[in-house]
Structure 1
């Protein structure tokens, strides 16, 4: 501890002189003083000290403390809780012993480390520091890379000592974890669980099929069958519909110990709806598990395709990215054509996408007139070639004013109050990381009826300029993307997630909203037809009065019935924007019927539908552990690879690692003397002592 002031210490002499001078004038120049010499010296000293200490406060004195802080090294222990571990031949060890061994390992670190346990599965779940690990191997997916992403995000600038990764190395969601370890900047110690040897088994490794098809169409199905250590055996593949009727079968001759065959066949679609098919392999003797002999797939049968035209001013990567995303859905028939070559009837299309049109080269005034007059939905994508003057006359919902033709790089900023359609949590999370679009620099004026999905974020400044918005004029739906370069979002999606799912979903959600004709009913309920068992079943609803004003006063009741007659009842939540929402978690796989009901006064409203919760079967498709991946992760990060039998050595190696140690830091703390109660106690004692002596000496 030390004492400092904001001024030179020479100023303290002035405080001292002030105190001495005041005491001298009071006790030596005052003719009425009746005290003796000794008493005057004592009282003058007390008064001089008090005045000096009070004057000293004018110099803003502070006490400086140096505090020592010890930060223990953080050890993240990430454990695989996926289903694949309990399906192998060592399942009894993982079910009965591994949990106890893990908790003993964590206990072995003692109090010198901060151990942060977490479970790996569909999501990474961190446990409380003192909470024991409990494994039930119930997760239907394994996302190892999310562990590294989570640790890098949450433990940056902390004393991260090491990551202990216990897994079989099999990942079926997310990116390859090997390419995610660099940001951690710490050793990763891996423990190889599972079995690396091929076991006697046959399985349905994957099924390829159209997610949607049309009534009466024949649609192709490909079933990939694998078998190990079953050479010379015969198997039988059968396909049944949900009523148990056999619609296909084929006998298989297993020709080797590492057998693979793709079985191709066609099925005919029935009436509109969701169809479930069961694929089965007969059970052969000595298979390690029979669970992967069975698989299920679903096909949605729809009545007809929606036609979408992408009309462009000139070739651009945006066009291919959007077209490929839309073509993944069998709902759409997509054509991409240059503006000068478009000869079709616009009324044949549910949605027309205009890329950098109108332009100076292609005015397309006749086409634009047809689109507006015939009420065809349109998505405008603006860019450098767009004729802004012509675009501003289209009554799209925005006017863009420019003094000079300049452009901005605008990052997407999600509008959390957007309600025209629902985005998944995965899309919401990745949007903020998307690269910028190339937008017009200028002043944007939106109409009141416009609904903004994303705003522009320019550099680090959040603006109210729209990046993507939607509008409705005379019953015609309009969408506008105010910049080009959306193809980069697709590339970024692949880099971040090793797939294009979020980009494709975003494009398809926009197209679905724009292409669907306006619903004029008073009660509307929105949901998907197909969910994975690992995701929540979500509903949104809207209720309108006779004036088509959105209201949310009445309660909306949802009743969901399963195939076996079990019912789930719940009330919708009322949102601030007068919409309703409902989320149902942990519904078992199967087919469900739903009824949503409400009333406005004496009028009752009812909506019904069906959806299917699909079982996730990723974990049973591969039971061979990938210890080579774990060895590579350990080697690249500076860690070591272990087996469950030598986990004790892992703890000893970490304890011996001199780089995994506590960090001692010192912090300066400043406290103004004016805030010190002890300082004022001293002043009061000094003044009280002087007062007592004056009274005792007969003074006033």
Structure 2
């Protein structure tokens, strides 16, 4: 309390005392105990009023006990049930829930995980993927600053995400793995990995790489067979031993027929082998009879060129070459699409050649673009020449209708730099991205497409698109979404098909462990995105003739339907729009593969490693009593008494107001009762 406040309080006491004595003792003609009592009441009343006016502040200290968190994450993936550990896991979980000593010592938090970590509701052990790294990522974000020992109930087998052993080394809390399984090791053959390109070209051969592993001590012989239908297309004998536990087999298969070819790679099992599911892997290759060649033509060196090339070639059906104008003119017949990057004076011959061959093109304009020349050599748009540059950020046009564009959070992307001034289009255009300056969207396109005389063209007004690809990786840890955006633009410009009001985006086949998500866009007659449409998919299993009807769900700029969890097989589908005679049909294939059934044992070594790296301890599922006892006796997880100090102004103390009212009432009553009023 400050000295000045203390002086005010002393003065208040003196003033209240003086006033009370003056009124009831000094001025009173009578003397007695009742007058001294009334003086005391008046003293308390006046003092209370003066103290409320001074309003001094006091320190209020409260004490409380803070229990450490006990984070319990349970593996909800199929591998737990496949290893016959699901019943034991549920029993352990129930034991932890009802343990009074644990609940008294810790704040228990229960979670389950498969591909994602979620608060525990029920355990079904039906997750198709297990991502143990996600456990440590999410717990680090939420519980980083609190004492939070972590119990990981899992078999330690991971099928998705970063290596959890690496992330555990950075984890700040002790980890106590409870291993669902034992140390028993069985001899096992396994196709560890199969590498093959998604696409192949007709009359060519495509490479296949198979990595086969063996765990065991005795020497064995087996055979690797690859079949398509009932025909064996490749076969090779393999030998393994205690010292020779892995072999890599490379071979080529012919692509003789257009379409999806499905294959089965199999290691013939040993006698009494416990797990034969991991001896087999199915794969597919789509054979196509043409490849899109894209020419990226530029007279300058810029990182955008490599960005376009990498994004385009992510799809194996496409190939991109970076050329100057003269190099392109020598081989112009080899290309189906041209990207003219920042045209200069030399591009007049290129535009003439592109017009002669009736090729589609993308024009990218930036700070090195010669707009005087570009305005002359084409008639689709004219740029106001100011000889000044400006940085523009992108904003997605939600109503773009030529193809499906996913929102990549374009508003947060770095700006592109281009000529300052208005671009006047002389043909009808559709805008993919608008320009934004200082957070204000202007009615000018940054990326636009248009069709003239059955030829398609795109104009990108800005250089520096390589930063967009880098930003996508920074946000998502992958280039895929940006590459898909460029790929869709290239696909649209590589075709001259008439545009449709209903567009469906899907893959021709999916691996059994992938998410099967189809997206669609529907546009009204003005080719504006219709967010009120009702879309549904009729899915027909060709093997069982079972038909399923599933509605699409609106997802901002498109409609989506999640078909994950479908049985392996061949499917045909038809997407219908309610109240409109518009539909799209197609076929897709789901390959038979369950990654969670590839494990024969718990991964004991990894679980023990994360315990050792974090000063924890690992346990097997049958050691529950030792596990709970160690947690309760660990001095690192003691309950901590903490204090909370608050500054409380006197005016917040309601008892003082009550005392003042009591004194006033008592004084009035006594005076009234004694006839002093």
**Alignment CA distance shift 1:437-1:203 (3 Å):** same
Mapping of residues 265-664 of structure 1, within 5 Å = 265-272=252-259, 274-312=260-298, 319-320=305-306, 322-338=308-324, 341-343=327-329, 349=335, 352-353=338-339, 357=342, 364=347, 367=350, 376-378=360-362, 380=364, 386=368, 421=404, 450-452=431-433, 470-473=447-450, 476-479=457-460, 483=464, 486=467, 489=470, 502-517=478-493, 520-563=499-542, 564-574=544-554, 579-600=558-579, 603-621=580-598, 623=600, 626-664=603-641
Please give the per-residue CA displacement for 1:41-74, whole angstroms capped at 9, x wherever unaligned: 5445434432332232233344542222332222
- The alpha-carbon deviation at position 516 of structure 1 amounts to 1.1
Unaligned runs of 5+ in 1: none
Determine the structure 2 residue equivalent to 1:100: 91
In 1, are the aligned partners of 2:224 and 2:267 still within 8 Å (CA)? yes
Determine the structure 2 residue equivalent to 1:12: 9
Residue 252 in 1 paired to residue 237 in 2?
A: yes
**Alignment CA distance shift 1:451-1:492 (3 Å):** closer
- The alpha-carbon deviation at position 143 of structure 1 amounts to 2.2
TM-score by length of 2: 0.79
Within 2, Cα distance between the matches of 1:368 and 1:7? 86
Determine the structure 1 residue equivalent to 2:45: 50
- The alpha-carbon deviation at position 503 of structure 1 amounts to 0.7
- The alpha-carbon deviation at position 266 of structure 1 amounts to 0.9
Mapping of residues 41-80 of structure 1, within 5 Å = 41-62=36-57, 64-80=59-75
TM-score by length of 1: 0.76
**Alignment CA distance shift 1:175-1:681 (3 Å):** same
In 1, are the aligned partners of 2:343 and 2:369 still within 8 Å (CA)? yes
Determine the structure 2 residue equivalent to 1:150: 138
Residue 201 in 1 paired to residue 188 in 2?
A: yes
Within 2, Cα distance between the matches of 1:391 and 1:188? 67
Give the secondary-structure state (helix, strand or coil) at the position aligned to 1:649: helix
Pick aligned residue for 2:150 from 163, 170, 182: 163
- The alpha-carbon deviation at position 290 of structure 1 amounts to 1.9
- The alpha-carbon deviation at position 637 of structure 1 amounts to 2.3
In 1, are the aligned partners of 2:416 and 2:462 still within 8 Å (CA)? no
Please give the per-residue CA displacement for 1:617-647, whole angstroms capped at 9, x wherever unaligned: 4344454654443343333322334444545
Within 2, Cα distance between the matches of 1:372 and 1:324? 27
Q: Which has the higher mean CA deviation after the structures are superposed, 345-354 or 100-109?
A: 345-354
Please give the per-residue CA displacement for 1:369-389, whole angstroms capped at 9, x wherever unaligned: 88799784537496xx74598
In 1, are the aligned partners of 2:534 and 2:552 still within 8 Å (CA)? yes
Pick aligned residue for 1:127 from 112, 120, 138: 120
Within 1, Cα distance between the matches of 2:461 and 2:168? 39
Unaligned runs of 5+ in 2: none
Within 2, Cα distance between the matches of 1:569 and 1:529? 20
Cα RMSD, aligned residues only: 4.8
Residue 185 in 1 paired to residue 172 in 2?
A: yes
Within 1, Cα distance between the matches of 2:34 and 2:564? 86
Give the secondary-structure state (helix, strand or coil) at the position aligned to 2:479: helix
In 1, are the aligned partners of 2:281 and 2:593 still within 8 Å (CA)? no
Within 2, Cα distance between the matches of 1:491 and 1:452? 16
Within 2, Cα distance between the matches of 1:103 and 1:445? 68
Give the secondary-structure state (helix, strand or coil) at the position aligned to 1:109: helix
- The alpha-carbon deviation at position 595 of structure 1 amounts to 1.6
Within 2, Cα distance between the matches of 1:177 and 1:691? 77
- The alpha-carbon deviation at position 213 of structure 1 amounts to 2.5
Please give the per-residue CA displacement for 1:131-156, whole angstroms capped at 9, x wherever unaligned: 7xx463x4433322222112111212
In 1, are the aligned partners of 2:147 and 2:173 still within 8 Å (CA)? no
- The alpha-carbon deviation at position 157 of structure 1 amounts to 1.7
**Alignment CA distance shift 1:26-1:386 (3 Å):** farther
Pick aligned residue for 1:688 from 647, 651, 665: 665
Within 1, Cα distance between the matches of 2:446 and 2:236? 55
- The alpha-carbon deviation at position 336 of structure 1 amounts to 2.2
Within 2, Cα distance between the matches of 1:399 and 1:40? 97
Within 2, Cα distance between the matches of 1:676 and 1:82? 56
**Alignment CA distance shift 1:78-1:599 (3 Å):** closer
- The alpha-carbon deviation at position 332 of structure 1 amounts to 0.6
- The alpha-carbon deviation at position 114 of structure 1 amounts to 2.5
Aligned residues: 653
Pick aligned residue for 1:678 from 644, 655, 664: 655
- The alpha-carbon deviation at position 211 of structure 1 amounts to 0.6
Pick aligned residue for 2:105 from 95, 112, 119: 112
Within 1, Cα distance between the matches of 2:527 and 2:399? 19
In 2, are the aligned partners of 1:122 and 1:534 still within 8 Å (CA)? no
Within 2, Cα distance between the matches of 1:84 and 1:377? 50
Give the secondary-structure state (helix, strand or coil) at the position aligned to 2:5: coil
